[in-house]
Amino acid sequence: MSSRSISSAHVPAAGVAPGGPPPADPIDADTLLARTGLATFEHHRVLASTMDRGRTLAGDPATPLPAAVVADEQTLGRGQRGARWWQAPGSLAVSVVVEAVAAPGGAPPLWSLACGVAVAEAVAAVVPGVEPLVRWPNDVEVDGRKLAGMLVEVASGGRVVFGIGVNTHGSRAAAPPPLDARIVTVPDLVGGPLPRQRLLVELLPRLFRLLEATAGDPRECVARYRARCGLDGRPVTVHRAVTAATADGPLTGICRGIAADGALVLDTVRGRVLVTSGSLTAPADVWRGESGLRPAPAPQGDHADLAAAGGELPGAGREVPGAEAVEPVGQLRRP
């Protein structure tokens, strides 16, 4: 299997302004290629969005996969539902491209949940004393504050791009309001930053193994997610896109974990419901950037399916007597 690495630390991509000096947190491409299973690695000083660059790599059949793109700083990082993404410069911002057979209608919910599990487990493995929990559909939290977020998109040809942001550097005090009241960073928790390379070496092999296992049998992913579910037994409100199926507005209930297919299980006043789309953040609370910042662009094209990490999956909630078994969600293949 061929491999390649690219660094643009001193030659920013066209149309992207160079930033200040890079943070003192180097990443050795040869180490990552040797220890993580990556076939392609790119490290940029500044990018508009690692997801955009990841989609470009996904659309190039000549790109050896798996591939990863890291940026020291993003100028147009994005989250779900058009939200902007903020994190301190130098924190881990990475998009990972894998070869997979996409399910009809977008990525299955379990792909996003598998990514969250891998991130939470990796942080716990390299930061002693910190035990992150997963928050459906796309966050990793510590004591109710967001430490990491994920976004999953299906690109051309069925390749999948996982966007991962972990607050490895900086402090929540530097975040703009109201994010400063919602997030936490590794330095906030333990007094110092987490080297990105150390986290990537732990995270990427874990993610690849879990995706491969999930493609064959989702039960391992579901079990590991349930072990770190931070919502179980708590009241939650799911905000859904207004459609004919969801015109009754937000759905509130007591979380009973996740179903076998990754849907959120809620006990509501009308019975048990499996929720396959939505967000736990009210639309009015979605951060869309500070004054003067351009809105984050939405993906374009027939294959720009925002998937489970964004929580905007086809369908709404379905009333069921209980969680049910499902067929394997997809077939991941490694070059």
Instruction: Tell which wins on pLDDT, 317 or 33.
Output: 33
**How much is the pLDDT for 157?**
77
Name the burial class of residue 292, with classes exposed (0-12), middle (13-18) and buried (19+) by CB atoms within 10 angstroms of its CB: exposed
**How much is the pLDDT for 75?**
86
Same domain, 210 and 102: yes
**How much is the pLDDT for 314?**
26
Please, which pLDDT band fits residue 284 given cuts at 50, 70 and 90?
A: low
Asked if 74 and 85 count as a contact pair (C-beta separation under 8 A), the reply is: yes
Same domain, 199 and 245: no
Same domain, 113 and 259: no
- Classify the C-alpha dihedral 62-66-71-76 as positive or negative: positive
Asked if 217 and 260 count as a contact pair (C-beta separation under 8 A), the reply is: no
**How much is the pLDDT for 18?**
41
The percent of residues above 70 in pLDDT, for the chain, comes to 70
Name residue 83's amino acid: A
Contacts of 154 (CB under 8 A, 6+ apart): 102, 106, 107, 160, 161, 303, 305, 307
Name residue 55's amino acid: R
Lowest mean pLDDT among 18-27, 257-266, 268-277, 315-324: 315-324
In a domain, 257, yes or no: yes
**How much is the pLDDT for 155?**
87
Q: Which domain holds residue 37?
A: 4-226
Same domain, 218 and 143: yes
Residue owning tokens 């790109």? 63
Same domain, 122 and 265: no
**What is the average pLDDT score of the chain?**
78
- SS3 of the chain: CCCEEEEECCCCCCCCCCCCCCCCCCCCHHHHHHHCCCCEEEEEEEECCHHHHHHHHHCCCCCCCCEEEEEEEECCCECHHHCECCCCCCCEEEEEEECECCCCCCCCHHHHHHHHHHHHHHHHHHCCCCCCEEECCCEEEECCEEEEEEEEEECHHHCEEEEEEECCCCCHHHCCCCHHHCECCHHHHHCCCCCHHHHHHHHHHHHHHHHHHHHHCCHHHHHHHHHCECCCCCEEEEECCCCCCCCCCCEEEEEEEECCCCCEEEEECCEEEEECCCECCCHHHCCCCCCCCCCCCCCCCCCCEECHHHCCCCCCEEECCCCCCCCCCCCECCC
- Chain CA centroid to CA 43, Å: 19
Domain boundary among 177, 207, 226: 226
Q: How many domains does the chain have?
A: 2
This model's pTM is above 0.85: no
**Which of 223-237, 288-302, 311-325 has the highest average model confidence (pLDDT)?**
223-237
**How much is the pLDDT for 100?**
74
Same domain, 260 and 173: no
Same domain, 240 and 183: no
Same domain, 149 and 195: yes
Strands 317-319 and 92-98: unpaired
Around Cβ 248, how many Cβ atoms within 10 Å?
10
Measured CA to CA in angstroms, residue 42 lies from 30, 54, 75, 107 at distances of: 11, 10, 17, 24
The percent of residues above 90 in pLDDT, for the chain, comes to 54
Mean pLDDT, to the nearest integer, of 46-50? 93
Lowest mean pLDDT among 95-104, 116-125, 165-174, 191-200: 95-104
In a domain, 327, yes or no: no
Q: Is the pLDDT of residue 158 over 90?
A: no
Same domain, 215 and 262: no
In a domain, 141, yes or no: yes
Please, which pLDDT band fits residue 15 given cuts at 50, 70 and 90?
A: very low
Strands 160-166 and 235-238: unpaired
Q: Measuring CA to CA, which residue among 85, 137, 88 is closest to residue 115?
A: 137
**How much is the pLDDT for 246?**
45
- pLDDT tens sequence across 96-152: 999 875 554 556 678 899 999 999 999 999 999 999 999 998 899 999 999 999 999
Same domain, 250 and 199: no
Residue 69 belongs to domain with CATH number: 3.30.930.10
Asked if 103 and 160 count as a contact pair (C-beta separation under 8 A), the reply is: no
Please, which pLDDT band fits residue 32 given cuts at 50, 70 and 90?
A: very high
Same domain, 90 and 28: yes
In a domain, 335, yes or no: no
Q: Is the pLDDT of residue 215 over 90?
A: no
Residue owning tokens 């499996």? 274
Q: Is the pLDDT of residue 233 over 50?
A: yes
Lowest mean pLDDT among 116-125, 130-139, 274-283, 299-308: 299-308
Domain boundary among 193, 210, 226: 226
Mean pLDDT, to the nearest integer, of 204-217? 93
